[in-house]
Structure 1
Amino acid sequence: MELRVFTEPQQGATYDDLLAVARTAEDLGYGAFFRSDHYLGMGTEGLPGPTDAWITLAGLARDTSSIRLGTLMTSATFRYPGPLAISVAQVDQMSGGRVELGIGAGWYEREHTAYGVPFPATGERFDRLEESLAVITGLWGTPAGERFDFEGEHYRLSDSPALPKPVQSPRPPVLIGGKGKKRTPALAARYADEFNVPFDGIEQTRVLFERVRAACADEGRHPSSLTYSNALVLCCGDTEAEIARRAAAIGRDVDELRENGLAGTPDEVAEKIGRYAAAGSQRIYLQMLDLGDLDHLELVAEKVMPQL
């Protein structure tokens, strides 16, 4: 089981805040630093304001040396797929091949209206996501010196040189996640290297993983060729007082977090991670909401990681 750090900078963070978390995670042996891709805080003003996901990761690509970097999830509504393929490939080059692209259809309408981004109906957003995946992977997969063409309903590319190429071969890993019954599993089976279940329980995780495995069978792909993962809120402490303090700092209830997240003592957290592993999860993204609490990451590294 690999542990990764997952942040929500739209809730309030500067680049320096994120750099401190990423460097701490790197020093402590976490597998990756991921961030959300949002432009509007949720239940907060998010001061001093949002930071762009791929600009952040470009900076971290130069300011870190070994930790992997990625998004949960880049919104396909925010960027045209051709320029996004260029951005991700460039950040992959800047990092020496440490980038992963999590991408989704987008869901938060308010941030779209706040910043003038079109927000189509659900069906069209998934259509655009599907075409984006075809374009991005197609551009990366086109051999150097050849050209890429694509004719979709929403995106059309003609005689593209399909440059630049990422460092990673055949491409940076692509992550798809969610709880959809049909299109999400089908897209994961067709395009993803990893399928992620966000903020759900163990039994539902089993159900969602099984849907993706069935979609892989339909696609003629072996289900074990994907990595299966979860994203869960972290609230760990050595004592009940410490757990309560960390829950209060993120505006959550301890009992609710014990039920729906990874909350409790290091032994409790390790035991629950073990139950997710038994359900098929190979990787956990620890949602760290209090970015100033670097001791939280140190506690998990010292007392949870060794048990996994």
Structure 2
Amino acid sequence: MHKTPVITSQTTNEKTGKNVYMKLENHQKTGAFKYRGASYKLSKLSAEELAAGVVTASAGNHAQGVALAAKSKGAKATIFMPEGTPSAKVEATKGYGADVKIVGQSFQEAFTASLEHKKLTGATYVHPFDDYDIMAGQGSIGIEMLEEIPHLDTIIVPIGGGGLISGIAVAAKMIKPSIKVIGVQAANAPSMFKSYYSKDDHVILDSCSTIAEGIAVKQPGQLTQQVVRDYVDEIYCVSESQIAYAMVYLLERTKSLVEGAGATALAALLAFNDKIDSEHTGVIVSGGNLDLGRMSEIQELSLKSNHQTLTREKITVL
């Protein structure tokens, strides 16, 4: 995999009063961090497990990671993706050689269909987040960041099902126990947020429609939610307009094309800056597989952002 660049922005530093370091996982193979976990998971499979083929469900980035990792291992990959997945992600997944099946309105429906496929075919399941090998692969991001910037005191990470933040939090705190790890969810998809603050192991959202489709997960992982409770310090939620603003901001200020999920960590820093006690802040820009056809919608949405924070009480009743 690529050791992705870390960039700084003088404008961002001045805007936040912090030294901000952005880890550009949109420069990773397949355009997102997901290749890390997928490639590590497949490297742990036996010849028999690979020969059975691999199957998974994904809103796009995990799909591409698994497809490329499977191709490199000579294994067949079958990927279930929900309707509404950006066409760029679907086509890229097919381009890596995977058999793509479009099923359901949400990740959860695609996930259910993928489990049925596993039962019928005996294929090896590669979960997008609720797997310790997947978490370990994603954790390499935390190791790289602290190797490059050992004085980091905080890392802000997007959360969907929780695989990315689980891996980063464990890895970073093993290296530097004092470091703070902050998670971020879209306010329209706050499953891990609700689990974290209510200690409810069975959070299932009725819906989770957001421009950050990469983290639109109705139900957090059973493994990841426990890791998050044990290792993550706090979680914030950001609105659709705040996510859109961060996407446009990254494009204008750093010339980085970033998808909604990839912009949520920066969106939280900009929205909750006064609440985040940090001098040297790492921000994970998790992916850049954006459907360019939505740029005008995103730009219009970003103009509605006024950076007002969403309180925990407001999120709880969403």
With structure 1 as the length reference, what TM-score do the two structures score?
A: 0.31
Rg comparison, structure with higher value: 1
Higher relative contact order (CA 8 A, sep 6+): 2
Which structure has the highest helix share of the two? 2
With structure 2 as the length reference, what TM-score do the two structures score?
A: 0.30
